[in-house]
Amino acid sequence: MNSVLVVRLSSVGDVVLTEPVVAALRESFPGAAIGYAVKAQFRDLVASHPALSRVHLLDTSSSGGTASLVREIRDARYSAVVDLHRNARTARILRAAGIPVRTAYHKRKLRDAVRVRLLRRPFRASKLLVQRYLDALVPLGIDAPYMRPRLHVSDRDDEAGRAILTGLGVGSDAYAVLVPGSVWATKRWPAEGFAELATSVVRELGLRAVLLGSKGERELCERIAGDAGSGAVNGAGETTLGQMAAVISRARIYVGNDSGPTHMARALDVPTVALFGPTDPGQFDFEGHALVYRDLSCSACTFYGSRRCHLGHWDCMTAIVCDDVLEAARSLLSSVGGGQ
């Protein structure tokens, strides 16, 4: 195999979780050129991977972005493509690019979609998502065992991350990263819980609390930092994805919902406390980390999250209490030698 293209256009967590596919391809085809196609806003998640020869960007802000990507991929003359997004858009792009060998990962079974979306039955994953991505390599003759994702931070982003911490007044202090946001409202632990946790992180764990998130989450994080008081700082909206990874990578511990940054933290091998409610944590590997999950009779009720609880109570997240999250963080810190 002379060259292979991997395609996953979005989003943060999904792109991070495809990394083992890149690693397996490099191990199997050490001399091959390996490319990766992704939306421009997620470039930082793959640009520094040592196994990649080239990154192709889809500029969604331009009306000609898709056509430009097709031309670029076609000109690269890849021998094969692994489509880890597998939707109508990637099908059109790859058909137009004319890559001779195509393989794709298998999305969930139709019966699962019917059970969850129509019958409102809880979802239980039959296989880790990373393994499902790796299984897409079988048609290329690669039977890859499970590997944990790894996220690579560039020197430039690492330096910028240091500068951001200095600007926030954290400097060389030990700190925890808290990420209270999520694209989907039902996956967010209440802000009051994060504020109580931030206060406890400072007072009981002896760490600074650094809140991170997108520009749209800056107000949420500001409110939490304000309620938490001295020792908590708001860095939401101050970083690129690469710089966020750099800040997370230096944290003693990370706490977040089922969101992209949580998968980044695990891929950076930072001790991670993940808070799950409406989605199934069985899709992911939490060995060496901590999971806080109530596993109610109605959970998991959605594949990705939703804007509101269809039963109207949202108990899966509101039933999570600060003491449980703090104890998970304390135990995790003790297990890695960072406890107070």
pLDDT tens by residue, the chain, 340 residues: 899 999 999 999 999 999 999 999 999 999 999 999 999 999 999 999 999 999 999 999 989 999 999 999 999 999 999 999 999 999 999 999 999 999 999 987 667 766 666 657 777 778 999 999 999 999 999 999 999 999 999 999 999 999 999 999 999 999 999 999 999 899 999 999 999 999 999 999 999 999 999 999 999 999 999 999 889 999 999 999 999 999 999 999 999 999 999 999 999 999 999 999 999 999 999 999 999 999 888 988 887 778 888 888 889 999 999 999 999 999 999 998 755 5
Structure tokens at 17: 């979780």
CA distance 34 to 39: 17
Domain boundaries, the chain: 3-140, 155-335
User: What residues pair up with 35 in beta bridges, in sequence order?
Assistant: 5, 54
Closest CA to 170 of 208, 202, 201: 208
Class of domain 155-335: alpha beta
CA distance 177 to 249: 10
* In CATH, 3-140 is 3.40.50.2000: yes
Are 3-140 and 155-335 equal in CATH topology? yes
User: What is the spatial order of strands in the sheet that 208-211 belongs to?
Assistant: 232-234, 208-211, 175-179, 253-257, 272-276, 290-293
CA distance 279 to 272: 17
